[in-house]
Amino acid sequence: MLLESLMIDEPELTFTPCGNPDPRLLRLVEFLARQAARECYAEEVKMTRRRGKRTS
């Protein structure tokens, strides 16, 4: 479903913030982004190790 949403040929939605965002929300977004980055990196490392085992 995510891939399908990325392939739509419609204009990209834009977000214009109004005022100061809640700092708790900013910390939550930062936390979730870091967690997603760690998971993505761990998966990349795992895939690299699998490829390395196949060639040896």
Summarised one tens digit per residue, pLDDT across range 15-44 is 777 788 889 999 999 999 999 999 999 999
Flag whether the pTM goes above 0.85.
no
Q: What is the distance between the alpha carbons of residues 47 and 32, in angstroms, rounded to a whole number? A: 23
Residue 13 predicted with pLDDT over 90: no
Quick check: is 47 in a domain?
Answer: yes
Quick check: is 48 in a domain?
Answer: yes
Domain that holds residue 25: 21-56
Quick check: is 15 in a domain?
Answer: no
Domain count, the chain: 1
Among 25, 23, 45, smallest CA distance to 33 is for 25
Quick check: is 13 in a domain?
Answer: no
Quick check: is 8 in a domain?
Answer: no
